[in-house]
Chain A
Amino acid sequence: MVTFKDFRNNVKPNWCPGCGDFSVQAAIQRAAANVGIQPHDLAVISGIGCSGRISGYIHSYGFHGIHGRALPIAQGLKMANKDLHVIASGGDGDGFAIGMGHTIHSIRRNIDITYIVMDNQIYGLTKGQTSPRSAEGFKTKSTPGGAIEPSVQPLELALTSGATFVAQGFSSDIKELTAIIEAGINHKGFSFINVFSPCVTYNKVNTYDWFKEHLTKLSAVEGYDSRNREEAMRVVMENKGLVTGIIYQNENAPSYQEQVPGYSPTPLVDQNLKMSEQEFNALIQDFM
């Protein structure tokens, strides 16, 4: 029987005390254990930034890549070995600034991986510049007069990009977050999970207390139907994106891999690389 302790390793995170990312790490560990994954069957692929360190803090295979590119690495890995559980993770800068293109196209592509964004509305590791998630007027080192650009709306973005699983969690509510990540792992397709993970050092506006005051739990919204995309969009917009829970899920959409013509039902990594002489000669004939 696997427990969350099996996903703990001997590395001490270098996050600031009180950082929201600790809870995301714990929730991933619990969710993986609850789903019954063996540590060696899990791969966590991360980007760059404080959050990017998470792949080194979970006892599983981990790949700490380059800024903004966790998603393509994760998708390549899943294509190579469909038996692995692949979680991509990174910060809001990683996913909504430098890696925004990959975010949208990964959502469209719907490869069966889970993407967790640790959204703190600030650049922490570079010591406090604005993020695409910073609210308009938010003052930082790079926006001393307040952020001018409107912030990216991750949930609306995902819903309009053809997402088959959209959820949002909050670091303070590990129980709900764990349940969301579990559902994301179990979802057959791309699961997009945005997590409000406060930066206690550089973001003095979007604090734990601020989120507690502003967030609405979808489980408390009477009759909310997460299978209805239009309703999901309406509720998200009405609440200015400040909701938690599973916002939308389409359980019937086929994943990318299910639709690729000829794609092997067994993991590609298990294939014999050498083709037969007969196959080889058939390829030669094409050019004769």
Chain B
Amino acid sequence: MLQQLSWKVGGQQGEGIESTGEIFSMAMNRLGYFLYGYRHFSSRIKGGHTNNKICVRPTQVRTIPDDLDILVAFDQETIDVNYKELTENSIILADAKFSPIAPDDCKAPMYIVPFTEIAAELGTSLMKNMVAIGATAALLNLDKGVFQGVVDEIFGKKGQEVVEKNMQAIQQGFDTMAEHLGDRLGEWEIAPADGKHRMFMIGNDAIAFGALAAGVRFMAAYPITPASEIMEYMIKKLPLFGGAVIQTEDEIAAATMAIGSNYGGVRSFTASAGPGLSLMMEAIGLSGMTEQPLVIVDTQRGGPSTGLPTKQEQSDLMQMIYGTHGEIPKVVIAPSTGEEAFYDTIQAFNIAEELQVPVIILTDLQLSLGKQTVEPFDYSKVEIRRGKLVENEAIPEAEDKSYFKRYELTEDGVSPRVLPGMEHAIHHVTGVEHDETGKPSEASTNRKAQMDKRLGKLKHINFKDPIYVNAPYEEADILFVGFNSTRGVLEELQQTLIESDVKVNHAHIRLIHPFPVEEMRSLVAKAKKVVVVENNATGQLANIIKMNVGGHDKLVSVTKYDGTPFLPLQLAKQVKELLTDGNI
């Protein structure tokens, strides 16, 4: 019985590969299994190889494995591109339609199944995906009944006949496979799950849900991979709450429109990826200078320029911390799981209003698009804090048309915030340096006072758990450090190394800026070597740690920038090489 199943379906983009993975995953999710999926896709609508790799486990999983147990192939390219992930214990299920050929050095046996033919006989070759799912069910010894609920849900709208046809396709896939397999039937059965109900979602869903729960009522955004799902979720859900989404003419409009709406007192945001964030830089400066709350999601993808638009990378870090001309207070938050993506998004909106600053929610393609099991969100943990937002009634009448001190110098640097429409709170807002009332001022003393006020606000950030820490050792051989979606691969590797008697601690940075210096310093002090693992070429996080904490002599930077995520075995090999080299 398997403790983990690694399953992949592949074919040409646009022929339902994604939905094959989706239906299989939904059924497994409902059985209580934990899932983690990663899609390989290209920047085109139809054609080109695509695949969906899914890891299924009875326990928590946050990474895709290196290897494959089952490869379902709808074209030859799927076999050619992916067979190296197969072992002696794996199996290929290939559609007879394309006369599949297994490469000579392929370790796994190939079973040729007439997926398309069976589907066509049932009425439409589109159902070949369902036949493949049925065949998978035979390998896993699954009760076909587990698919009934999912099929009802997906095809119910199209009528009972369509539902029945699809169930028949699953049944026939199962039967045909069972005949082929003989006594290997059920050989890939996974250890039973706990049967609990959990959510199954992509990181972008978790962020969008978090934004809605945080009270967002307006979003302005421009479509881009891998961020668009956030906008699409808001377009679906905001009408239920009276809100609206505007698809803008560009990312500059998106960011400035969100600033306008926040200025009006409504929690608003935008979401984009690297190219969009580059365009938003001036607006981010405006938000910082005028102290208007602003939340922006940056779903990192391969850069620079258009780069690798559909591939994993973590190379926007420095730009998110420092980007915009001049110096502003800015917060950068980097969740690493679906759960954190939700709760940290709520934190982002609270901090944006409490400190009146721009807040970047940084994710990466793997976290944003990877479909994963997520524990149901807890309503009682949804807290909304709006900082120094003043009630209209509490404002005394202004004398002789004097402006409200919207930029009043206070102890914590945060000034009372009033909104247009309030009767006695008229003031001016400008990106030009200004005095306490918002009037332009170039006076040196005022300039320094306002700069100190703005930049000083970050000291008062209220962010819960800035680092995810799993540090069982007071004196560790290795401290692993990462951010965003490398969480799972580092968790796995930590366990593997601990089992082979290496003392490993793990820190995943959740609050990137302002950097949690003290927390990190003590973790670094407890380790002989600090191994910083990140999907970029220049070791940006490693440099941030050097800048803030030091520890240059201990620091080892492990980078990957080929567009693919870190995999547990691959990374283990890299780290073990470091170990044998006497580095650790």
Partners in one complex: yes
Q: Mark A207-222, 1 if CB is under 8 A from B, else 0.
A: 0000000000000000
A69-B252, A271-B242, A284-B199 given as contacts; is B428 within 8 A of A56 (CB)? yes
Q: In the bound complex, do residue A10 and residue B401 qualify as a contact, i.e. CB atoms below 8 Å apart?
A: yes
Complex: how many Å from CA A262 to CA B283? Answer: 29
CB nearest neighbor in B for A283: B209
Q: In the bound complex, do residue A56 and residue B268 qualify as a contact, i.e. CB atoms below 8 Å apart?
A: no
A120 to chain B, nearest CB (A): 21
A268 to chain B, nearest CB (A): 5
CB nearest neighbor in A for B243: A268
Q: In the bound complex, do residue B282 and residue A43 qualify as a contact, i.e. CB atoms below 8 Å apart?
A: no
Complex: how many Å from CA A8 to CA B384? Answer: 38
- In the bound complex, residues from chain B placing their C-beta under 8 Å from that of A40 are 420-426
Q: In the bound complex, do residue B263 and residue A271 qualify as a contact, i.e. CB atoms below 8 Å apart?
A: no
Contact residues of B between 358 and 416, Cβ < 8 Å to A: 374, 376-377, 379, 382, 384, 386, 400-402
Give how many A residues have a beta carbon under 8 Å from the other chain's beta carbons: 61
- In the bound complex, residues from chain A placing their C-beta under 8 Å from that of B198 are 288
Binds B, one of A80-88, A148-156, A191-199: A80-88
Complex: how many Å from CA A262 to CA B267? Answer: 17
B576 sits at the interface (CB 8 A): no
Contact residues of B between 269 and 307, Cβ < 8 Å to A: 282-283, 285-286, 290
- In the bound complex, residues from chain A placing their C-beta under 8 Å from that of B253 are 69, 71-72, 101-102, 105
Number of cross-chain contacts by CB at 8 Å: 214
- In the bound complex, residues from chain A placing their C-beta under 8 Å from that of B215 are 271, 273-275
Counting contact residues on chain B (CB < 8 A from A), the size range is 35 or more
From A10, A81, A277, A279, B421 is in contact (CB under 8 Å) with A81
- In the bound complex, residues from chain A placing their C-beta under 8 Å from that of B426 are 39-40, 59-61
Q: Mark A102-129, 1 if CB is under 8 A from B, else 0.
A: 1011000100000000000000000000
A64 sits at the interface (CB 8 A): yes
Q: In the bound complex, do residue A79 and residue B261 qualify as a contact, i.e. CB atoms below 8 Å apart?
A: yes
B200 sits at the interface (CB 8 A): yes
A40-B424, A105-B248 given as contacts; is B263 within 8 A of A73 (CB)? yes
Q: In the bound complex, do residue B252 and residue A72 qualify as a contact, i.e. CB atoms below 8 Å apart?
A: yes
A201 sits at the interface (CB 8 A): no
A223 sits at the interface (CB 8 A): no
Complex: how many Å from CA A55 to CA B432? Answer: 12
A80-B266, A84-B420, A102-B249 given as contacts; is B384 within 8 A of A274 (CB)? yes
Q: In the bound complex, do residue A66 and residue B242 qualify as a contact, i.e. CB atoms below 8 Å apart?
A: no
Complex: how many Å from CA A228 to CA B511? Answer: 58
From A72, A264, A281, B243 is in contact (CB under 8 Å) with A264
B419 sits at the interface (CB 8 A): yes
CB nearest neighbor in A for B380: A277
Q: Mark A254-279, 1 if CB is under 8 A from B, else 0.
A: 00010011111011110101110101
CB nearest neighbor in B for A278: B379
CB nearest neighbor in A for B200: A287
A206 sits at the interface (CB 8 A): no
Q: In the bound complex, do residue B239 and residue A261 qualify as a contact, i.e. CB atoms below 8 Å apart?
A: yes
A62 sits at the interface (CB 8 A): yes
Can you report 24 residue pairs joining A to B where beta carbons are below 8 Å apart? A40-B421, A40-B424, A40-B426, A41-B421, A59-B426, A61-B426, A64-B431, A65-B431, A66-B256, A66-B282, A75-B246, A75-B257, A79-B218, A79-B257, A81-B421, A105-B248, A262-B240, A262-B242, A262-B244, A268-B266, A269-B419, A271-B241, A280-B213, A287-B205
Q: Which residues of A contact B (CB under 8 A)?
A: 8-11, 38-41, 43, 45, 55-56, 59-66, 69, 71-81, 83-84, 101-102, 104-105, 109, 257, 260-264, 266-269, 271, 273-275, 277, 279-281, 283-284, 287-288
Q: Which residues of B contact A (CB under 8 A)?
A: 30, 197-201, 205, 209, 212-215, 217-218, 220, 237-244, 246, 248-250, 252-254, 256-268, 282-283, 285-286, 290, 374, 376-377, 379, 382, 384, 386, 400-402, 419-432, 438-440
Given A64-B430, A84-B264, 15 extra CB contacts under 8 A:
A8-B401, A43-B420, A55-B428, A56-B440, A63-B290, A66-B282, A66-B286, A72-B257, A76-B261, A79-B264, A80-B265, A81-B420, A262-B244, A275-B213, A287-B374
The 3 lowest CB-CB distance pairs between A and B, nearest first, are: A262-B239, A76-B260, A273-B215
